[in-house]
Structure 1
Amino acid sequence: MKNALVILISFFFAFSCQNQIDEEKQVEKIDNPFTGKNPWPEIRKKRINQLLPEAMDRAEIDAWMVICRENNNDPMALHIGGENAGGTSFYVFYKSDDKVQSIVFCSFGEVTALKELGLHDSIVSISRGQDVFKLATDFVKELNSGKIAVNMSSSNSTADGLSHSQYQKLAESFGTEWEEKLVSAEELVYEWLSIKLPEEIEIMRKAAEITGKWELEAYETIIPGKTNDAEVAEFLNEKIKAYGYEDGWNPEQNPNVNSGPDRGHSHATEKVIMPGDVIQTDFGIKVYGIWVTDIQRFAYVLKEGEEKAPEDIQRYWDVAKRGHRLVFENMKPGISGYELDKAQREWMKENGSLPVPWSTGHPVGYVAHDVGPSLGGGQEGITPSKAALKPLREGMVFAYDGFYAWKIKGGEKTISVEEMVVVTENGAEYLTAPQEELILIGNEIK
């Protein structure tokens, strides 16, 4: 009888625990906006139909050829429907009657799936033994195109998917009289990927809200004198796993939680968080396997007897925040990233900040450092890059910082108020509420 009672109690305990787990999972499902059908296929189709023609016009490109293949694919494959390529396939986009048409030359085993994708106007099946390079180049020759863009670039890795051997064979197939028409797709890729559709911005807005919210929750776990940077990072890693998301960048360095001197882009260490520390958390998530975020949150750990941050730390925060808002107030279509970066560096210098080597900001979207204008170039002793001199356009999304750097024991410390914004018709708009106050963490060491 006693054994039976023990078994019965164990059963009800296990049943109760399972119910609690199921309830927690249910709460997570309700709280997760990214559990439904992946919207990328429809958004990708709209991007090709709506944004690619405009991009080809601005880049003055008549035809674009992308070569996709298995295991070492072109960085643009996901954007054109070539992510599942097996044998070598050609994706050709070309102007026709003020529209952009597309044709794919691929192995016979891929035809059915590509047709069902419904992304391209024509699919041409290649039999074994046929030369796909000759078929594709012959087709483009018949178009009598002007500039033919191919994915080779010395400054934009996303537009640099063409291998050396592929280029050699492509040039051979075209012949010397056509080779001079081959130009870099750098401008085309820039013009196309730098603009995000309203639907994409809404997805990134929700993801940004989650990113910032989790960073605040992570700070609530800190016990000064006990918790280390890596444990705060692990809290955020567990959040990503629980919700089925991915890291915004390399998992080894996401998130970067740092309560000591600057470490640049790096991993969180086992450095114990102590009173008087300023903590930086740089964190991003990827949702639907496509869109990423990049947001930072800063906190100060109160010392014994303190109820607020010391005057110097508070001033550093205020100057960094004001530098960030200065950029926000001037961000609008037509202005260059260089102008924005320069304005903030002048503000930093006026207020006694050490110079920082990093640009004020960067595009963010499909990767953390996405294609688009650089908000940089104002650093002393450097020449602004071509991307820094490009004008901002409506629909571009940026993650950018407000800086203040000073000397601390062991090196320097930088507050880099990083938020995500979208450029609108008249200015800019935050994707999630920006951090207004320095987060304060209690000083008890138990």
Structure 2
Amino acid sequence: MGIRRGRGPIAGVAAALIAWAGAAQAPTTAQMGQRMAKAPVTAPILPMSDVEQASPAPPFILGIRDRAALENAILAERLDTVVPAIMRAQKIDMWVLVAREYFEDPVVATMLNAESLHARRRTILIFFDPGAGKPIERLTVSRYGLGGLFQPAWDPDKQPDQWKAVAEIVAARNPKAIAINTSSLSAFADGMTLSQYKDLTAALPQAARDRIVSGEKLAIGWLQTRSPMEMQAYPGILRLAHSIIADAFSRKVITPGRTTADDVVWWYRQRLSDLGLVPWFHPSIGVIRKGSAAMLEGDTIIQPGDLLWTDFGITYLRLNTDTQHLAYVLKQGETEAPAGLRAGLRAANGVQDALLSSFRVGATGNEVLAAARAKAIAAGLKPSIYSHPLGYHGHAAGPAIGFWDDQRGDERGSTPIAPNTTWSIELAAYLAVPEWGGQEVQFRAEENAYFDGTRVRFLDGRQTAIRLIPNK
């Protein structure tokens, strides 16, 4: 399927299915089988855009076999490019990762090929940089192969002890530094358990133990860095999520006076199940109503005049989306949302602008937070910023930019922002709504974006107009 086994570049994944990229209806199984026989598979490739479509058509969704082929191609590209870059940047010549069945290290879980759903028994991965510009070795010390992406390096018949096999690999290569995934700051980089650490170090001579260092920066670098193939696919993944939100906030799903907030929540869950997709968190629907200080949820019946909020995210091709949008249920005779509500979304867009303009390579998440807040406040806005990295996880590896309950910054935002990373631009603006008697409303917004090291671009636009739901 266009994947070169073992080390080396990918034999390019052709844009074989782009003809279906804008189609609302998926190709049939027979059509996909015919196309698979002719060319490798790719996801719908859509360009990044700063403008969100009002009623986006859903891109087609790959079948499971096609998804696996694309996921493996992306993984091969990442192993060929991201691993050498991060190891050499950190001057680490050996990286040892250990996972146990159903208890994967977060990094190992993202390095398994699509057919290896979990680590088997104990899976040990070893990366070694021999230097002199030679390729990084990728070894697996386990009983099971990993789709040809790692070189098997253990024969239990010759060496029954798995840990001794690791020690022999270490001795033969004599690395200067042995990185393991341990971190007090990030769960993503803390996958080495105490028992596995004890077994590993017991197998190594003292000289090798003295070379063990934290692989925190390797783990974060691997998880947060997006590859070119991922960035070809990501806008289409978000377009798919946007199309589902557009349906949720429409008369296809909502009948004012009858539909409850929970009805829409469970419509989301059912819709994803029907499409063969999964959410990475349970969706949210909130009702913001004139005269109500709190957001209403659950069995609240949606009525004309309500401002609706949703928080929704999917996982597809191992990547996650995270979006918050607003909709307004028109009252009799209305053709648009009240001016005060429209001004609230504009204020949220203003906070977004302040945040996007504050990104820079090397600045910490806390520094970006402080700069963005200062700009927003100087513009007369009342901001709350709580943005986070996005990628293999919804709340992903990398520095945080604020928290909804802490606008001062803390240790989770103390590390620098890196290029080639994806972000959930999550925030809110507070504004009094004249039509609601001066009631202050929190206007939440969340869009997904890519930082290339110079500028931040939305993957599939941002909401600049409140979605309207007719009352009949």
Classify 1:377/1:277 alpha carbon distance in 2 versus 1 (closer, same or farther; 3 Å): closer
For 1:106 and 1:246, the matched residues in 2 are separated by 30
Classify 1:217/1:62 alpha carbon distance in 2 versus 1 (closer, same or farther; 3 Å): same
Superposed, 1:326-365 pairs within 5 Å as 326-350=354-378, 356=384, 359=386, 361-365=387-391
> Which deviates more from structure 2 when the two are superposed, residues 322-331 or residues 366-375?
322-331
Offset of residue 300 of structure 1: 2.3
For 2:125 and 2:307, the matched residues in 1 are separated by 50
2:398, 2:415 within 8 Å by CA — same for their partners in 1?
no
Superposed, 1:349-388 pairs within 5 Å as 349-350=377-378, 356=384, 359=386, 361-376=387-402, 382-385=408-411, 387-388=413-414
Q: Whose helix fraction is larger, Structure 1's or Structure 2's?
A: 1
For 1:60 and 1:257, the matched residues in 2 are separated by 47
**What secondary structure does 2:62 align onto?**
coil
Classify 1:175/1:378 alpha carbon distance in 2 versus 1 (closer, same or farther; 3 Å): farther
Offset of residue 151 of structure 1: 1.6
For 1:329 and 1:191, the matched residues in 2 are separated by 23
Superposed, 1:182-197 pairs within 5 Å as 182-197=212-227
**What secondary structure does 1:419 align onto?**
strand
> Which of these residues, 88, 102, 108, is aligned with residue 122 of structure 2?
88
Matching residue of 1:429: 457
**Within the alignment, does 1:283 sit opposite 2:312 as a pair?**
yes
Matching residue of 2:330: 302
Deviations 1:153-209 (A, max 9, x none): 222222222111111122222244433322221100111221111211122110101
- Where do 5+ consecutive residues of structure 2 fail to align? 1-22, 29-58
Offset of residue 281 of structure 1: 0.9
**Within the alignment, does 1:102 sit opposite 2:128 as a pair?**
no
> Which of these residues, 218, 227, 242, is aligned with residue 212 of structure 1?
242
**What secondary structure does 1:34 align onto?**
coil
Offset of residue 342 of structure 1: 2.1
Classify 1:403/1:348 alpha carbon distance in 2 versus 1 (closer, same or farther; 3 Å): farther
Offset of residue 142 of structure 1: 3.3
Superposed, 1:116-135 pairs within 5 Å as 117-127=147-157, 130-135=160-165
Classify 1:378/1:32 alpha carbon distance in 2 versus 1 (closer, same or farther; 3 Å): closer
Matching residue of 2:416: 390
Offset of residue 298 of structure 1: 0.7
2:159, 2:165 within 8 Å by CA — same for their partners in 1?
no
> Which of these residues, 38, 54, 78, is aligned with residue 85 of structure 2?
54
Considering only CA atoms, is the larger Rg found in Structure 1 or Structure 2?
1
Deviations 1:263-310 (A, max 9, x none): 99xx9622222333321111111113x111111211123345544333
**What secondary structure does 1:40 align onto?**
helix
1:362, 1:375 within 8 Å by CA — same for their partners in 2?
yes
Paired residue total: 403
> What is the percentage of aligned positions where both structures have the same residue?
23
Which one-letter code corresponds to 2:125 in the other structure?
Answer: Y
Which one-letter code corresponds to 1:273 in the other structure?
Answer: I
Classify 1:329/1:54 alpha carbon distance in 2 versus 1 (closer, same or farther; 3 Å): same
Classify 1:73/1:389 alpha carbon distance in 2 versus 1 (closer, same or farther; 3 Å): closer
For 1:299 and 1:344, the matched residues in 2 are separated by 26
Matching residue of 1:401: 426
Matching residue of 2:182: 152
For 1:159 and 1:412, the matched residues in 2 are separated by 41
2:285, 2:310 within 8 Å by CA — same for their partners in 1?
yes
Which one-letter code corresponds to 2:447 in the other structure?
Answer: E
For 2:405 and 2:302, the matched residues in 1 are separated by 32
2:142, 2:152 within 8 Å by CA — same for their partners in 1?
no
Matching residue of 1:317: 345
RMSD value over aligned CA atoms? 3.2
**Within the alignment, does 1:441 sit opposite 2:469 as a pair?**
yes
For 2:287 and 2:242, the matched residues in 1 are separated by 18
**Within the alignment, does 1:274 sit opposite 2:289 as a pair?**
no
1:337, 1:392 within 8 Å by CA — same for their partners in 2?
no
Deviations 1:37-65 (A, max 9, x none): 43111211111111101111222322111
2:358, 2:372 within 8 Å by CA — same for their partners in 1?
no
For 1:95 and 1:128, the matched residues in 2 are separated by 26
1:341, 1:377 within 8 Å by CA — same for their partners in 2?
no
Deviations 1:12-41 (A, max 9, x none): xxxxxxxxxxxxx99344751423343111
For 1:26 and 1:386, the matched residues in 2 are separated by 41
Offset of residue 129 of structure 1: 8.0
**Within the alignment, does 1:71 sit opposite 2:107 as a pair?**
no
1:302, 1:308 within 8 Å by CA — same for their partners in 2?
yes
Matching residue of 2:25: 27
